[in-house]
A and B are shown apart, each in its own frame.
Chain A
């Protein structure tokens, strides 16, 4: 079955440490997204990518970095500059520019906590 796989499901970070969240999709989608979800705040866009080797900042990119070296992969690094990283992180994908009316497909998320 096609879908989006996020790993790990739970992740713990020590102060001053960078961590990388994995997101892989086999839907052949061009566009991929990273969201942060906090209670009562909905989904906030961190970064998105419309095509391989290209990505743009979303609304809350500070303290995060991404790469898009392959179409199916869009890893997110939470750097030590992100002072409040505890949250639920969701990765999503969509067909892309040719299918702007299409919905996004989501992974099951990674919950990041500070030790």
Chain B
């Protein structure tokens, strides 16, 4: 079985500060990992994904994430927060055998202070 844990349901940063949202996964087989962003009353949008290959993946809006197998982590970072980054962020894991189904974390709400 696969699972995802997002550490911290709420994260608050100042505009221009580093954003770090934590995600740890559990999987007995090589995982595929995703970060999604959700703005109020909207669906989820893909930020970035890791499938195979390079462990540092870059996404949209200046976000990136690093797959660390030894730590079973896939933390999301952005060097400088912008007010428009305020949203809810979801980490998700999928494995080959599960036919494309994803398991989602509980989400982290990011607040950006001016």
Point out residues on A near B: beta carbons under 8 Å.
Answer: 4, 6, 31, 33, 35, 40-43, 45, 48, 50, 90, 92, 94-97, 99-109, 111
Which residues on A sit within 8 Å (CB–CB) of B36?
Answer: 103, 106
Nearest neighbor of A88 in chain B, beta-carbon distance: B41
- Report B13-37 CB contacts with A as 1/0, cut-off 8 Å: 0000000000000000000101010
User: Is B43 interfacial (CB 8 A cutoff)?
Assistant: yes
Total contacting residues, chain B, CB less than 8 A:
25
User: Is B94 interfacial (CB 8 A cutoff)?
Assistant: yes
- The docked-state distance in angstroms from the alpha carbon of A20 to that of B61 is 36
A42 contacts B107, C-beta separation under 8 Å = yes
Which residues on A sit within 8 Å (CB–CB) of B104?
Answer: 35, 42-43
User: Which of the listed residues A6, A90, A100, A108 has the most CB atoms from chain B within 10 Å of its own CB?
Assistant: A100
Q: List 23 A-B contacts (CB under 8 A).
A: A6-B43, A31-B99, A33-B101, A42-B90, A42-B104, A45-B101, A90-B44, A92-B44, A97-B99, A97-B100, A99-B100, A100-B32, A100-B94, A101-B52, A102-B100, A103-B36, A103-B46, A104-B102, A106-B36, A106-B43, A106-B44, A106-B45, A108-B43
A-B pairs with beta carbons under 8 A, tally: 66
Taking A43-B104, A99-B100 as known contacts, 20 extra A-B pairs with beta carbons closer than 8 A to each other, sorted by chain A number, are A31-B99, A42-B104, A42-B105, A43-B90, A48-B101, A90-B43, A90-B44, A92-B43, A94-B100, A95-B100, A96-B100, A97-B100, A100-B96, A100-B99, A101-B51, A103-B46, A108-B41, A108-B43, A109-B41, A111-B41
User: Is B49 interfacial (CB 8 A cutoff)?
Assistant: yes
